[in-house]
Amino acid sequence: MSTRPPLTVMLASPRGFCAGVDRAIQIVERAIAKYGAPVYVRHEIVHNRHVVDRLKALGAVFVEELSECPPDRPVVFSAHGVPKSVPVEARARRMLYLDATCPLVSKVHVEASRHHDAGREIVLIGHAGHPEVVGTMGQLPQGAVALIETVADAQAFQPRDPANVAFVTQTTLSVDDTADIVDALQARFPAIAAPHKEDICYATTNRQDAVKTIADRAEVLLVLGSANSSNSVRLAEVGRRAGARAYLIDDAEGLDFAWLEGVGRIGVTAGASAPEVLVEGVLARLAERFDVSVDEVDAARETVRFKLPRVLAG
């Protein structure tokens, strides 16, 4: 009979890699296989330290600007998207580049451009400095997009023509926080043009819904993901809002057993850029201290797959 205290682990599903992240990682792996090392990657391909370190070991070199890349080696653009000026520069230098931008981010780029072509003033709901926001704002001339981060920003925004405004959003935001900002914008500008389909991606929404499903029954929520991963940070926030003590950890080494003293039921999830091996590592570490029973809680089924660039397909 086990002398370890019992611990029920509710595993949120879906969790971990989304289709856009999976595609981006495959692009780097296949580029290395096809062209040999090194393959350069502009910005972290996805925001996860373990993913980046594994790709470095395979031969990827991560840089922040194209100026750091030699013109005779392939360069991959990260899943977050890039300003229009980046592929223009790559073509001018006759570089071979592979665009790993998530197709759902590209959809937001297309929407923003369509609104701009129609003469609308564009609001982007997102977080300043995030590469996805930088990439989306960089699709259009400087000053064409106004960034809104909070309800207060939405209430203070003064467009040139209140009857001719549109909004788009970063794909990895909190669904609830974004809804509050959209409500504030729509209350002020009833004619504001909205996306045909919500910009917050299916994977972000599904992972937040899964957390809500378990958080009110979990005393503690562990979220696997890196601190610079927007969607992972949002998962911890959603868990706290639902009543759980939520902790964002990179891997099993980040687990503090003091958090679990007197606790009998916890939730575990992973951000869209966190590999499943990190979840397995946490479960193994918990099993060292507790008699663990795992309850997988399905909130949604995901079947989305994105095609690879033709040059790498097959």
Mean pLDDT in each 10-residue stretch from start to end of the chain (314 residues)?
87 96 97 98 96 98 96 96 97 97 96 96 96 97 96 97 96 93 97 88 94 95 96 96 96 97 97 97 97 94 93 82
Q: What per-residue confidence (pLDDT) applies to 302?
A: 93
* Of residues 2, 5, 1, the one with CA closest to residue 261: 5
Annotated catalytic sites, by residue? 132
* 3-state SS string for 196-244: CCCCCCHHHHHHHHHHHHHHCCCCEEEEECCCCCHHHHHHHHHHHHCCC
How far apart CA 223 and CA 82 sit, in angstroms, is: 28
6-17+202-298 CATH fold: Cobalt-precorrin-4 Transmethylase; domain 1 (3.40.1010)
Number of H helices, E strands in the chain: 10, 12
Q: Does domain 104-188 bear CATH number 3.40.50.970?
A: no
Could you tell me where the beta strands, DSSP code E, fall in the chain?
Answer: 6-13, 39-42, 60-63, 75-77, 97-99, 121-125, 145-148, 165-169, 220-224, 245-249, 265-270, 291-298
> Could you identify the residue written with the tokens 């504030």?
184
Could you tell me where the beta strands, DSSP code E, fall in 106-201?
Answer: 121-125, 145-148, 165-169
How far apart CA 87 and CA 64 sit, in angstroms, is: 14
Q: What number of other Cβ atoms are within 10 A of residue 255's Cβ?
A: 18
Q: What per-residue confidence (pLDDT) applies to 196?
A: 79
Q: What per-residue confidence (pLDDT) applies to 314?
A: 64
CA angle 173, 177, 179 (to 5 degrees): 100
Q: What per-residue confidence (pLDDT) applies to 199?
A: 84
Alpha carbon distances (Å) from 198 to 75, 104, 126, 174, 204: 31, 10, 14, 12, 11
170: alpha, beta or left? (left if phi > 0; alpha if psi -120 to 50): beta
- If DSSP codes are grouped into helix, strand and coil, which group holds residue 292? strand
Question: Where exactly does CATH 3.40.1010.20 map onto the chain?
Answer: 6-17+202-298, 104-188
pLDDT in tens, 189-219: 999 999 977 788 999 999 999 999 999 999 9
19-99 CATH fold: Rossmann fold (3.40.50)
Q: What per-residue confidence (pLDDT) applies to 2?
A: 62
How far apart CA 116 and CA 24 sit, in angstroms, is: 28
